[in-house]
A and B are shown apart, each in its own frame.
Chain A
């Protein structure tokens, strides 16, 4: 069938278009000559491709003469992809797996204002901690899951939050508490995970890691929580399991550690 074969030939144009978009994303706006070099294509075919991509809004002419950049239509497509991403749906399989591997409760938290709210929880078998039930919330500076969020918030937010906590009328932080919290936050930022050992519930241990979106902004945390004695004696390293799981959820939200995806 003639339409089939021309179809097939035409399909390589899609991967060519993708390479073109990827080059513009990696290198920023470029001249036609630079694009021809980057993609190792003749200038004439680059011109044709630009014409076709411009017609569908995937690229546009830049402010500088002769420079091509990604089109704003891409922003709209990206927004619709972002709208469909649901952190709870994406994290649930990871929570189940954590629960399966450790036997402990696995939970997912997001920040609402100045508290961390547990929006998903897969209950563990033997001893269940009651510190963050489904729908329950906690201040951001106590417990592993809240701390994993607080530590990776922007500096401005962190300062505002801490100022408010320090000045709290009912339960202000002592200077000693403040110093300890600052060093905890520094440790969490450095290690990439938070541990709370008996400081919320005596005998309870929780470990949590942050989840990031495609902009690199922290959007939540996931972790496990259970009896300290049991987790300490287990044959797994809780921080490894938790950070790996959180990293996979981040990736499914479009987070990248560098360069083009794939």
Chain B
């Protein structure tokens, strides 16, 4: 009986995942996606609907409710503390015209919490809630260089799976990358996540030098790499603005 709650919640999470990936489904469809008996799917769906985490329309289609939007906003606010500073990010986006990402360090990844799209292209690889492994992308590799995680353990697990032929996967490559990032104060991601796309990222550090978040600017490779110095300058301005803002208490 002790594991009953665990089992049900795991299943509830699988159910939420299926609904978030496939959109509205009927209970029988849900049952087949989850590989569980129909009565269990009906019960699970009705528990989610009853608690307000899902809605069911007249045709019996079950979908995630907008309550998740509220929970998501609150999750962002409490995870990011004072970091969610849209003014600084907006200014960075307007100054560069490129897509801006803000990501938080987590166990073995950088989790994106904010995306502001650029003028010309929407870089869709990273959305709020999405994550990049520490060997991928500007924010992933900024976290690798500055983050609180066990870097040695991560490097030992190399080679890591590549996203493109340009991804850094081997231990030596990643070690060199960490040194380069720390030396330069910024990290360049050149087609290592998406072909044709480059990004530059910098760390946002608190007064003690601990990593609060990583901020990056991404766009068409030519647009980013030809303006490297200017973009790095704008990134540092943004990072300083965010770091200076005191974290709001209890949030």
Contacts and interface: CB of A to CB of B under 8 A. Distances in A.
A77 B44 contact: no
Contacts of A262: 52, 67
A35 B5 CA distance: 18
Given A14-B8, A72-B104, A79-B129, A8 B251 contact: no
Contacts of B65: 81, 261
Given A9-B4, A77-B71, A80-B64, 15 more contacts: A7-B39, A14-B48, A17-B9, A25-B75, A28-B251, A48-B5, A52-B6, A52-B10, A55-B6, A75-B75, A81-B66, A81-B72, A82-B72, A84-B23, A253-B66
Interface string B89-116: 0000000000000001010000101000
Interface of A: 3-4, 6-15, 17-19, 21-22, 24-26, 28-29, 48-49, 51-53, 55-58, 60, 62-63, 69-85, 214-215, 252-254, 256, 260-262
Interface residues of B, number: 54
Main secondary structure of the interface of B (DSSP, over half): helix
A4 B43 CA distance: 10
A214 B73 CA distance: 8
Interface in B179-203: none
Nearest to A68: B78
Contact of A77 (B72, B74, B251): B72
B71 A25 contact: yes
Nearest to A78: B72
Interface string B146-171: 00000000000000000000000000
A20 B7 CA distance: 17
A33 to B, nearest CB: 15
A76 B43 CA distance: 25
B35 interface: no
A78 B69 contact: yes
Q: Which 8 A-B pairs have the closest CB atoms?
A: A78-B72, A76-B129, A254-B66, A70-B75, A18-B51, A10-B8, A254-B69, A80-B20
Contact of A72 (B9, B21, B64, B75): B75
A231 B39 CA distance: 54
A74 B43 contact: no
Given A13-B9, A56-B13, A77-B129, A24 B78 contact: yes
